[in-house]
Structure 1
Amino acid sequence: DQWPLKGEWLEQAHELVQELLQLGHIVPSTSPWNTPIFLIPKKSGKWRLLQDLRAINAVMAPMGALQLGTPNPTMILDSWHLKVIDLKDCFFTIHLHPEDCVPFAFSVPVINNDRPMQWFHWVVLPQGMKNSPTLCQIVVSEALSNICKTYDSIMLYHYMDDILLAVETESSLSQVFDSLVAKLQRYGLQIATEKVQSLPPWRYLGWKLLDSHVYPQSIRLATTVSTLNDLQKLLRTINWLRPLLGITTHELSPLFSLLKGNPEL
């Protein structure tokens, strides 16, 4: 059942649903499935709509992670020319098969109960579905594969929707970048043009890159843990630091075992 949404929260839910309808991310539905939605206010003043898909994830076969970790940019050759690229709303540019849309349905209460509740389901990868990251990786990898074959002398790293392109000469960088953009567009993937980084310092997956040096970005390690969510944030940071410090997965296993609890705590 849908959790209660009242006042401003309900009004915002209706506004966000209308935006998602106009963007083609959801459609009206008669699905027998229904899992709750909730809203998160952002610091910018905007709101974010999320769906609680734990019940769906529990009966879904996991595809597993395709990448065991993040790529290390220290492998890039000295003085090569770089671009850091961020894909825009990657999940929302990848469509579900029509037969797979039905479980991702949700309902929205109407103001003052003056008509039946509205029912919708996602037609693109939903945020919170456990296989969405893996499917995103598959699509992005497929889109970039021919670029590497065409330009075999470049270095091209990607992790989820973050792409790092390194080319020996500046003139070649422009040519490869244009080809990369065209290839991504053929797969329906869009570049967030305002986030493209063409000049140093480049920031990529927690690293700061200069022309001939690579540094980890400043890291804030929150050691006060009072909730399960605090622990998740701490372990996310430690997991990123693990390759730098030589910490093994086995050594972290006692901490990760603590995650087996109620994620709402």
Structure 2
Amino acid sequence: MSMKRKTWIQIFLHIILIAGLIIVVLPMVYMISTSLKPNGALYEYPPRFLPALDEVTLENYKYVLGQGKFYRNFLNSMCVSVASVLIAAEIASALGYVIARFDFPGKNFLFGFIVLTMIVPGLTLIVPQYELAVKLRVINSLAGLVPFYAAWTIPYSTFMIKGFVEGIPRELDEATYMDGGSVFTVFGRIIIPLAKPGIASVSIFNFLTAWEEFPWANTVLNDNLKRTMPIAISGFFGEHQFTQWGYVFALSVFSLLPILIVFICCQKFFVAGLTSGSVKG
């Protein structure tokens, strides 16, 4: 391939990447710019993508922060997301370790069933899940979110962590057994430390899933003080006879901050875990 052709290919690829970046970034830029506009400016014609400097205001953020329920909704989302991540990480790590290291009857069937559950849309199970939540008496409670969120993310987490565990040399397990260690010793001192990147990557994904989930939380929770951030944001739609888009986007910016912080801090684990787990799995 000639140098000229390679150059044109690189230029074409860069154009595609830049176009993709613009498509991804523009909605976020519009969200931030809209949150800095007064609500009246949202209906001006012709519309402007960015506000004028003399129009920039923090009133939308002040209003949102002045709502006492905002802090409660934010705390609810944080507690639910963290609890779901911890439960899913613990169960998926143990399950991934067992499937990757041991042979037992029904192993292939179990792993195939786990993979199968990954392709079932969550909304198709909302009716039986609701009936189960009623029987467990967790309706209108944060306890009605955590076990279901964990159950949704365990199959994917197990699939990824299994691939990571298979990349850990078995000689380390055998050396631990020779030193008198048990299965639990291998799991706690060998597998968990070496599989941290994989566990961290799926935990980031699980956190995003729990933090952003709306349909199930809206179905289970009725009390405003027990609702999560996505439901709190939806509460501004149609309020006062029309949607206060400035409030909606200001609250959306606050909701986005934990996600950005988690991803920026753990980005290297996320990339490493996805690539390694997908290849080994």
**TM class by shorter-chain length?**
under 0.3
Q: TM-score, normalised by structure 2?
A: 0.22
Q: TM-score, normalised by structure 1?
A: 0.22
Structure that is richer in strand per residue: 1
Higher-Rg structure is 2
